[in-house]
């Protein structure tokens, strides 16, 4: 069987986009951004925390830029990085334009003693869970996030396992399950449903129990 091309589907090539040097110049003038010397292959710009949201919104909304896709929100711990003398943490926002052939990564340095950055969940929906994952793994707080709860580790977990000083062999047991009622309820309300009744929550006992009791002296 041979494949055929459907000529009825329009094929629009991506526009050329803005060259990296020109984009960097615009961000440097508007947001005092500088090129990250650690990135030797692509364009990564360092932006101050106070300028971060405005910079990201600018990249998303400018007609000739249109970085409409946030690919991830990721953390970096430079605790053991050779020769590093700056802030311990960084948060990175890799962006892509679905209209132009250009990409960029915006990077914000975060001090260990003030480990907070503004949330961008209202700019891109994907940031909701991506920020939760980064907080869960690195302990970086995203101010303004509507539900900054653990995503990969259980709700009784203590610490943040991707920090370089976390004991890699440490194990933490879960004793009581989290039913995640708040998140399920919020999703239903967002879809137009009304919660009319809340049942009793069974959080579990943390031990194995039998489904049927046996009366003493009786034959099971």
What is the DSSP secondary structure assignment for residue 112, as one 8-state letter?
G
pLDDT tens-digit profile of 61-101? 999 999 999 999 999 999 989 999 999 999 999 999 999 98
Whose tokens are 């890699």? That residue is 168
pTM of the model: 0.77
The CATH number of the domain holding residue 73 is 3.30.460.80
Residue 106 in domain:
yes
Buried b (16+ CB within 10 A) or exposed e, 155-164: eeeeebbbbe
Residue 206 in domain:
no
Residue 171 in domain:
yes
Residue 216 in domain:
no
**Confidence bin at 208 (pLDDT 50/70/90):** very low
Residue 200 in domain:
no
Q: Assign 22 to helix, strand or coil.
A: helix
Count CB neighbours of 88 within 10 A.
19
Buried b (16+ CB within 10 A) or exposed e, 174-190: eeeebeeeeeeeeeeee
86 contacts 136 by C-beta, under 8 angstroms: no
* Burial status of residue 141 (CB atoms within 10 A of its CB: 0-12, 13-18, 19 or more): middle
User: Strand ranges (DSSP E) for the chain?
Assistant: 34-35, 44-46, 69-70, 74-77, 89-96, 103-110, 116-118, 141-143
108 contacts 32 by C-beta, under 8 angstroms: no
CA 123 to centroid of chain Cα atoms: 13
Q: What is the pLDDT of residue 115?
A: 95
Residue 161 in domain:
yes
Residue 74 in domain:
yes
pLDDT tens-digit profile of 22-55? 999 999 999 999 999 999 999 999 999 999 999 9
Q: Which residue has the higher pLDDT, 95 or 189?
A: 95
Domain count for the chain = 1
- The closest alpha carbon to 87, from 49, 53, 32, 50, belongs to 49
Residue 198 in domain:
no
Phi, psi of 112 (to 5 degrees): -60, -30
Query: What is the bridge-based pairing of β-strands 141-143 and 89-96?
Result: unpaired
Q: What is the pLDDT of residue 215?
A: 39
Range of the domain at 148: 20-190
183 contacts 128 by C-beta, under 8 angstroms: no
Whether the CA torsion 201, 206, 212, 216 is positive or negative: it is negative
């Amino acid at each position: 069987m041979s494949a055929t091309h459907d000529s009825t589907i329009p094929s629009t090539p991506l526009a050329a986009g803005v060259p990296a040097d020109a984009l960097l110049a615009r961000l440097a003038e508007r947001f005092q951004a500088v090129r990250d010397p650690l990135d030797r292959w692509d364009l990564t710009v360092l932006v101050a925390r106070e300028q971060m949201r405005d910079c990201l919104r600018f990249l998303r909304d400018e007609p000739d830029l249109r970085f409409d896709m946030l690919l991830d929100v990721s953390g970096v711990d430079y605790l053991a990085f050779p020769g590093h003398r700056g802030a311990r943490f960084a948060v990175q926002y890799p962006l892509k334009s679905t209209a132009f052939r250009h990409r960029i990564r915006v990077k914000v340095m975060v001090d260990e003693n003030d480990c907070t950055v503004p949330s961008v969940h209202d700019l891109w929906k994907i940031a909701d869970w991506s920020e939760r994952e980064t907080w869960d793994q690195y302990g970086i707080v995203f101010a303004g996030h509507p539900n900054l709860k653990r995503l990969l580790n259980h709700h009784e977990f203590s610490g943040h396992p991707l920090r370089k000083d976390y004991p890699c062999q440490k194990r933490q047991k879960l004793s009581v399950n989290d039913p995640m009622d708040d998140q399920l309820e919020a999703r239903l309300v967002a879809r137009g449903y009304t919660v009319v009744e809340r049942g009793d929550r069974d959080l579990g006992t943390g031990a194995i129990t039998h489904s049927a009791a046996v009366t003493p002296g009786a034959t099971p």
